[in-house]
Amino acid sequence: MKYINLGKSDLHASNIGLGIMRMNQLSVSEAAKVIETAFDLGINFFDGADIYGEGQSDTIFGQALKETGIDRHSVYVQGKVGIVLDNRRSHDGLVFGGRYDFSRDYIVDAAHAELQRMNVEYFDSLLLHRPDPLMEPAQVAEALDTLQTDGTARHFGVSNQNPYQMALLQNSIHQQLLINQLQFSIMHTGMIDAGMHVNMTDDRSVDHDNGVLEYTQLHNMTVQAWSPYQYGMFEGVFIDNPKFPELNTMLQAIADRYDVTKNAIATAWILRHPAHIQVIVGSMNPNRLKQIVEANKVELTAQEWYDIYAAAGNALP
Ligand SMILES: NC(=O)c1ccc[n+]([C@@H]2O[C@H](COP(=O)([O-])OP(=O)(O)OC[C@H]3O[C@@H](n4cnc5c(N)ncnc54)[C@H](OP(=O)(O)O)[C@@H]3O)[C@@H](O)[C@H]2O)c1
């Protein structure tokens, strides 16, 4: 395993973290096995959110972590708040919001509730899950001060925010934003496409994210890549998916070269970016986790990285 410091903090986290969004589908003992396997592989970072499994993922994680006997201080636990759940739009524990809420009381209450469910005493980092257009920056500032002072969270970050949203927030709060968690995978490359198509007129020249990857590098923030093996928004896994024959052929050829699996190569492709992205994987399968962390045995050449990008259907100008 390799470790990176998150933002400018002293949080020395594994470059592959485990997301617990899908943990609600497991029993406590199954979840304990997943956590134990991850920990034994060197994963020391766990990413939750109050909405995962409608809160059930937090609860199972908290109970399972206790069952493993792993010292809470030897791992980092991250929470996320700010999405008000809409149960009607939720399915299979993959949940969606009815609205976003960055008001002071909502953030504080949601963070306290998540911490209680996880039963971990404090969050190493707490993220604001999705930007709320009705955000009053001064209210967020009060909320973060409260949560830091009362010991709920040591550090803060955001998720799914563009540079101006981060700058606006950073201008009002007293803590340094450490993290921006964003969707990024071989099949979700908006953050890099536009940079290669500057001044062009094709679809990929449209910058949907306003240079978010460059902004995080400039401001020493860590990008956490969510859903590293999915295409679309939870449409499915691209690995071994007949919809993507060229990509899978390329991943397999490179996997054979390094004697690892396609999941490892898909992970290594994200890790190869010089921004030192942390990959947040969602597998609840101990064997797959073992395969995934083998990404750290691989240092893709620049040509391999571009070949994978091209095999995913991307053209260079
Ligand atoms: N900030 C945000 O807005 C946001 C949004 C979504 C997610 N997240 C975070 O990101 C984490 C990861 O998200 P995710 O779970 O969507 O990511 P993921 O790691 O891309 O997907 C995991 C899912 O893909 C399956 N899978 C992986 N490789 C496979 C293969 N080769 N063949 C078949 N199935 C395969 C896994 O099954 P197995 O369990 O069988 O391995 C699991 O169901 C979440 O837990 C959460 O912490 C954040």
* C-alpha 136 – ligand 1 centre gap (Å): 32
* Placement of tokens 């609860």 in the chain: 59
Q: Tokens at residue 200, please?
A: 């062009």
Please tell me the distance between residue 151's alpha carbon and the centre of ligand 1 in angstroms: 30
pLDDT at 177 over 70: yes
Supply the pLDDT for residue 125.
98
Q: Mean per-residue pLDDT for 84-113?
A: 85
Q: Is 112 exposed, middle or buried (0-12, 13-18, 19+ CB in 10 A)?
A: middle
Sign of the Cα pseudo-torsion (57, 59, 64, 65, in order): positive
**Banded model confidence at residue 32, pLDDT cuts 50, 70, 90:** very high
pLDDT in tens, 118-175: 999 999 999 999 999 999 999 999 999 999 999 999 999 999 999 999 999 999 999 9
Amino acid at 282: G
Q: Which one, of 17, 161, 24, 184, lies nearest residue 90 by Cα?
A: 24
- Position 70 scores a pLDDT of 98
Q: In the predicted model, is pLDDT for residue 61 greater than 80? A: yes
- Of the pLDDT bands very low, low, confident and very high (cuts 50, 70, 90), residue 6 is very high
Give 19 Cα–ligand 1 centroid separation in angstroms: 8
Find the 141 Cα to ligand 1 centroid distance in Å.
32
Element containing residue 88 per DSSP (H, E): none
For atom 35 of ligand 1, the residue with the nearest CA is 237
CA distance 179 to 246: 33
- For residue 98, the model assigns a pLDDT of 84
| Residue ranges of domains in the chain, CATH in brackets | 3-244+275-284 (3.20.20.100)
Ligand 1: atom nearest CA of 49 is: 47
The confidence band for 176, taking pLDDT boundaries of 50, 70 and 90, is very high
pLDDT over 90 (residue 196): yes
Dihedral pair phi/psi, residue 266, rounded to 5°: -60, -35
Residue 85 CB neighbours (<10 A): 17
Taking 80 as the threshold, does the pLDDT of residue 88 lie above it?
no
Tell me how far the alpha carbon of residue 184 lies from the centroid of ligand 1, in angstroms.
12
In tens, the pLDDT along 212-253 reads: 999 999 999 999 999 999 999 888 999 999 999 999 999 999
- Residue to mutate, 237, 279, 285, ligand 1, most ligand atoms under 8 Å from C-beta: 237
The residues, any chain, with a CB within 8 Å of residue 205's CB and separated by 6 or more, are 194, 197, 198, 199
Instruction: Find the distance separating the first CA and the last CA of the chain, reported in whole Å.
Output: 36
pLDDT at 95: 66
